[in-house]
Chain A
């Protein structure tokens, strides 16, 4: 990584949900602020800015990551996916999103983007999770509305449906 000057804004380029994006950021700017306020991608939420709540979870180079613990300049050259990329097309929901709606796995929806991003990635790696696997995995996210019960149900249901129709994943 090149040495950056704290005084200047630097050009940051990466692939976001399949498209090339670029904008300028001071070296200290968080990736959450960059995504939300520089690029206008407000689907990624900020719940704590200290890495605990998981609301800001996005996928960086195929790995779920906390955007609030990442600097925008660190994302230069990366491939990033956010919640805006999950639906297959406008007006349609992915299997995982559908399952969340069916099971009432969200109330305020503030934690949801991060949870969806984590689960989307996890279910691709582990198509056959047990409820216990999912419980442990979801332990990295805070939700204050649902009590997690419907989220687990939705995740189990989505896993099952994804196994049945892998093409639609």
Chain B
């Protein structure tokens, strides 16, 4: 009954493209909203860690056009904390309550008539913070003496588990060699070009929420959101727009904002729309985890690895936001990579630090694991004096061993790693690359070669995350597992075919591929199939695994669509058999017809057949009514973790082998990718053009992670890469064309033999490039991103220390400044003293001052605009006077806060009368600057501070002298 595949395997044009190319996409911000919809803007924390002492929002609330200002206090009344995935006494709110724990954490939401008005009102909100020391480094976070982020925990360690598979201890004890690497994997993010968007509406009559958001799944988070909004799942309707501008995992992180905007709608009784801006996205959406890993191998003399010992410290940021700590456990079944290693020990720790919470990001856990494992493989070769190619070859899982069960519990479905590896070396021109390196080195050039083998897991087992719980805790909670995929194929009264899936694409072309799959099943053309991928939890078939993540589309959703089409087809075959007078299994579907096999003239048009159950159900036996078929498919291989903590964390496993040649410019220390070869075995390929697109796209992300991208934090937790000018994303200039090779070993576990392919290069490429750079430089330890500054240290030695001592950042704190000076005023001390205490005079003489408010005789509040180097921002200053000895001396203690940074300090001013009736002012100050401005070099900062202080006294001079401001100003300028 089957017809040979016609459309699958071809790079057909995408049905998505015509609209996207002509500006007719339907992204969330392109869709109109209901009249009366309000717009939200969010006030965010400038501090990495601070107590929120007071929020003064009345001026914002009273501003014209503002409907509401919601603070933590308001929000917590209307919702519950987001569920946390580990057993620990901590909460996770979508907005700060009593404390802020990372730069960018929401502090208040303004809901207003327009986005412009809402943003204006955000500026009117005043927050009193009491800055607290920040914990930034994940290893420092293990130290219980450090500040604690969540008081429910005694330290910042949120979860710890140890695992043992086989006999790692015994194997290490008897090993010929022990080789070890320590790596620090940085934070980065795939930053989709479209940011988050939410339109939320609360229906008070039904106590129900209706939300449109560019969320991507997993829809297990639907349960988390519904619980947070305190409604049953059926009263939380979540819809997605037809188009979404990329995700790469990141759009999972919109979910706390869905809760927040749901609450805002409930509080205002109106629909509320919020579109994140890029600065918010960079600071506070989601990033990959940063991780510190120590990985040891027990190795035979010939380079065969017998055991691994993993020690991973995972930094999830300030909250364990669902589904974290999934990043740490996604690869749990795959900790032995592409290698046959039977003994493994694992120690996993999850820590909290003052950084943005982490979440899904392309590669999800893979980059961190392979960076350690593949750096280790290179080190084994070097330390044992072997060829790295040989070390990989000797350790690969042998051909014919599939399905292969790994030590930690994964079942590698299919593959021929040895063949893919040898093909890649031969077809990719490895020998020639070695020759090229030899030549380059002979000419004194800095040239290196890197290699990586990796297994790319796809179709996540929803139960893998429960490996974070002990077997005992799991027993209590009940087993979790599976990966329900759904698809519906429906026939309309004109005999047309439509497909509905819960795959929520973000640009991957799901509609095209599903049309190919269903067209093949039914003997139609893709153009005959209408595919709907926008999702509506109130109407569509879905389950917790629904969504667009863990590269599950081709394998799981595509497979489910194939099965649903098969069910419809079986029914249609019976109806056709009756009409054509042949047995159902003699009916074949081709060319838009159902026909008798071997007698193509005995046929009925597909559309007529497909319409039959609508128009003439009487002619169709009840059990054969062919109208709509929904398939839920979950693979039986995805079982819960075993009592021994073995976990088949993913269904499919693609194989990747990459090698590359890089050259480093001796002068600029820039890394140039000379050649990059990537071999993929991702099972059966449905659309070669899209597979190539996934590989080149993933490769570009990985190149960015390897060379440029890092969500960087200062030692005080200030966020340093808050714009696309700081967070450097590769452009066409930096991304070379990789050479892509394939081997196709179909998966026996998926309906179409397909596997995932979208994340592989994010796992393999960063470490492949790092291995090449390490080879070029001959260094043992190297961490990403491989910026010229880092490479310069290896090529040219450490930078010389500047002659002038500079302000230094202190861990957990900002940059400290210290200064003193003297100035002359023409007026006597009493007059100068009066001026110093007069808000009007102060407003006139403080540089960039917008006004001074006197809260008491000794407490002033000022608003100032200050420029430090290229960074100009508006700050609020709170100044308290103490130790007053009129008119001789006063101590000023001040706190300055603004979006670009914050500071605090103390200065002592002494006034002494001079012989000519004037005053000598002497001052001394100690200050500390944090936040973004602190990232500016110390010299600039010192200089700026000096200038501001000089300007202050110069202005005071003008005030005291009156007649000769120029001359006096010059006199005053001497100090500072």
A interface list, Cβ under 8 A from B: 26, 28-29, 36, 41-50, 52-53, 55, 82-84, 86-87, 93, 97, 100-102, 104, 106-113, 116, 134-136, 138-152
Assess A107 versus B244: contact at CB under 8 Å? Given A52-B723, A138-B732.
no
Q: How far in angstroms is the closest Cβ of chain B from A123?
A: 15
Q: How far in angstroms is the closest Cβ of chain A from B760?
A: 13
The reply to whether B278 and A144 form a contact with Cβ atoms under 8 Å apart is no
The reply to whether B245 and A109 form a contact with Cβ atoms under 8 Å apart is yes
Q: A29-B116, A108-B506, A110-B245 are in contact. List 4 more A-B contacts (CB 8 A).
A: A83-B22, A110-B193, A146-B700, A149-B696
Q: How far in angstroms is the closest Cβ of chain B from A93?
A: 6
Q: Which among A86, A107, A116 has the highest number of chain B CB atoms within 10 Å?
A: A107
Q: How far in angstroms is the closest Cβ of chain A from B696?
A: 3
Give 3 nearest A-B pairs by CB, closest first: A43-B23, A108-B507, A109-B20
The reply to whether B14 and A104 form a contact with Cβ atoms under 8 Å apart is yes
Assess A47 versus B506: contact at CB under 8 Å? Given A110-B194, A142-B731.
no
The residue on A at minimum CB distance from B512 is A104
Assess A147 versus B23: contact at CB under 8 Å? Given A50-B724, A107-B246, A110-B246.
no
B689 to chain A: which residues have CB within 8 Å?
104
The reply to whether A150 and B732 form a contact with Cβ atoms under 8 Å apart is no
B723 to chain A: which residues have CB within 8 Å?
48, 50, 52
Q: Which of A41, A109, A143, A144 contacts B17 (CB 8 A)?
A: A109
Assess A43 versus B732: contact at CB under 8 Å? Given A107-B246, A144-B248.
no
**Interface check B737, CB cutoff 8 A:** yes
**Interface check B21, CB cutoff 8 A:** yes
Q: How far in angstroms is the closest Cβ of chain A from B259?
A: 25
The reply to whether B696 and A147 form a contact with Cβ atoms under 8 Å apart is yes
Q: How far in angstroms is the closest Cβ of chain A from B685?
A: 14
How far is A135 from B243 in the complex, measured between Cα atoms in Å? 28
B168-198 contacts to A (CB < 8 Å): 190-195
A43 to chain B: which residues have CB within 8 Å?
22-25
Q: Which of B17, B18, B190, B278 contacts A48 (CB 8 A)?
A: B278
A55 to chain B: which residues have CB within 8 Å?
193
A36 to chain B: which residues have CB within 8 Å?
29-30
**Interface check B924, CB cutoff 8 A:** no
Q: How far in angstroms is the closest Cβ of chain A from B477?
A: 37
The residue on B at minimum CB distance from A48 is B278
Q: How far in angstroms is the closest Cβ of chain B from A83?
A: 4
The reply to whether A106 and B17 form a contact with Cβ atoms under 8 Å apart is yes
The reply to whether A41 and B23 form a contact with Cβ atoms under 8 Å apart is yes
The reply to whether A139 and B23 form a contact with Cβ atoms under 8 Å apart is no
Assess A108 versus B23: contact at CB under 8 Å? Given A52-B724, A141-B731, A144-B701.
no
Q: How far in angstroms is the closest Cβ of chain B from A27?
A: 11
Q: Which of A138, A142, A151 contacts B724 (CB 8 A)?
A: A142
The reply to whether B690 and A106 form a contact with Cβ atoms under 8 Å apart is no
How far is A102 from B21 in the complex, measured between Cα atoms in Å? 12
How far is A90 from B911 in the complex, measured between Cα atoms in Å? 79
How far is A36 from B732 in the complex, measured between Cα atoms in Å? 28
A109 to chain B: which residues have CB within 8 Å?
16-17, 20-21, 25, 243, 245, 507
A145 to chain B: which residues have CB within 8 Å?
193, 246, 507, 693, 697
**Interface check B733, CB cutoff 8 A:** yes
B22 to chain A: which residues have CB within 8 Å?
43, 83-84, 86-87, 93, 97
How far is A144 from B508 in the complex, measured between Cα atoms in Å? 12
A44 to chain B: which residues have CB within 8 Å?
23
A141 to chain B: which residues have CB within 8 Å?
731-732
**Interface check B729, CB cutoff 8 A:** yes
Q: Which among A104, A113, A136, A139 has the highest number of chain B CB atoms within 10 Å?
A: A104
B238-271 contacts to A (CB < 8 Å): 243-246, 248
B678-710 contacts to A (CB < 8 Å): 689-690, 692-693, 695-701
The reply to whether A93 and B191 form a contact with Cβ atoms under 8 Å apart is no
The reply to whether B194 and A148 form a contact with Cβ atoms under 8 Å apart is no
Assess A101 versus B18: contact at CB under 8 Å? Given A110-B194, A138-B731, A145-B693.
yes
Q: How far in angstroms is the closest Cβ of chain A from B375?
A: 24
Q: Which of A87, A144, A152 contacts B729 (CB 8 A)?
A: A144
Q: Which of A86, A106, A147, A152 contacts B20 (CB 8 A)?
A: A106
A93 to chain B: which residues have CB within 8 Å?
18, 21-22
Q: How far in angstroms is the closest Cβ of chain A from B690?
A: 7
B23 to chain A: which residues have CB within 8 Å?
41-44, 82-84, 86, 113
The reply to whether A53 and B697 form a contact with Cβ atoms under 8 Å apart is no
Assess A143 versus B690: contact at CB under 8 Å? Given A42-B29, A148-B700, A151-B732.
no
The reply to whether B696 and A136 form a contact with Cβ atoms under 8 Å apart is no
**Interface check B430, CB cutoff 8 A:** no
Assess A26 versus B24: contact at CB under 8 Å? Given A101-B13, A135-B732, A149-B696.
no
Q: How far in angstroms is the closest Cβ of chain B from A158?
A: 12
**Interface check B871, CB cutoff 8 A:** no
How far is A75 from B277 in the complex, measured between Cα atoms in Å? 23
The residue on B at minimum CB distance from A40 is B32
The residue on A at minimum CB distance from B13 is A101
Q: Which of A104, A108, A113, A148 contacts B192 (CB 8 A)?
A: A108
A150 to chain B: which residues have CB within 8 Å?
692-693, 696
The residue on A at minimum CB distance from B701 is A144
B191 to chain A: which residues have CB within 8 Å?
144
How far is A110 from B243 in the complex, measured between Cα atoms in Å? 9
Q: Which among A48, A49, A83, A86 has the highest number of chain B CB atoms within 10 Å?
A: A48
Q: Which of B27, B116, B190, B690 contacts A144 (CB 8 A)?
A: B190
How far is A138 from B700 in the complex, measured between Cα atoms in Å? 15
Assess A144 versus B192: contact at CB under 8 Å? Given A49-B277, A152-B732.
yes
The reply to whether B246 and A101 form a contact with Cβ atoms under 8 Å apart is no
Q: How far in angstroms is the closest Cβ of chain A from B452?
A: 18
The reply to whether A139 and B733 form a contact with Cβ atoms under 8 Å apart is yes
A53 to chain B: which residues have CB within 8 Å?
193, 278, 724
The residue on A at minimum CB distance from B728 is A52
A48 to chain B: which residues have CB within 8 Å?
278, 723-724
How far is A29 from B114 in the complex, measured between Cα atoms in Å? 12
**Interface check B471, CB cutoff 8 A:** no
The residue on A at minimum CB distance from B191 is A144
The reply to whether A108 and B244 form a contact with Cβ atoms under 8 Å apart is yes
Q: How far in angstroms is the closest Cβ of chain A from B884?
A: 42
Assess A45 versus B193: contact at CB under 8 Å? Given A107-B246, A109-B243.
yes
A148 to chain B: which residues have CB within 8 Å?
696, 700, 731-732, 735
A41 to chain B: which residues have CB within 8 Å?
23
Q: How far in angstroms is the closest Cβ of chain B from A138?
A: 4
B194 to chain A: which residues have CB within 8 Å?
45, 47, 108, 110
**Interface check B725, CB cutoff 8 A:** yes
How far is A143 from B733 in the complex, measured between Cα atoms in Å? 12
How far is A104 from B697 in the complex, measured between Cα atoms in Å? 12
Q: How far in angstroms is the closest Cβ of chain B from A72?
A: 12
Q: How far in angstroms is the closest Cβ of chain A from B242?
A: 11
B27 to chain A: which residues have CB within 8 Å?
42, 45, 110
Q: How far in angstroms is the closest Cβ of chain A from B402?
A: 30
The reply to whether B278 and A26 form a contact with Cβ atoms under 8 Å apart is no
How far is A130 from B246 in the complex, measured between Cα atoms in Å? 29
Q: How far in angstroms is the closest Cβ of chain B from A6?
A: 11
Assess A147 versus B700: contact at CB under 8 Å? Given A106-B21, A108-B245.
yes
**Interface check B11, CB cutoff 8 A:** yes
How far is A84 from B30 in the complex, measured between Cα atoms in Å? 14
A138 to chain B: which residues have CB within 8 Å?
731-733
How far is A21 from B20 in the complex, measured between Cα atoms in Å? 24
Assess A107 versus B693: contact at CB under 8 Å? Given A112-B20, A142-B193, A144-B192.
yes
The reply to whether A101 and B14 form a contact with Cβ atoms under 8 Å apart is yes
B20 to chain A: which residues have CB within 8 Å?
106, 108-109, 112
**Interface check B509, CB cutoff 8 A:** yes
How far is A36 from B33 in the complex, measured between Cα atoms in Å? 13
B14 to chain A: which residues have CB within 8 Å?
101, 104
How far is A97 from B735 in the complex, measured between Cα atoms in Å? 23
The reply to whether B25 and A28 form a contact with Cβ atoms under 8 Å apart is no
Q: Which among B13, B23, B191, B733 has the highest number of chain A CB atoms within 10 Å?
A: B23
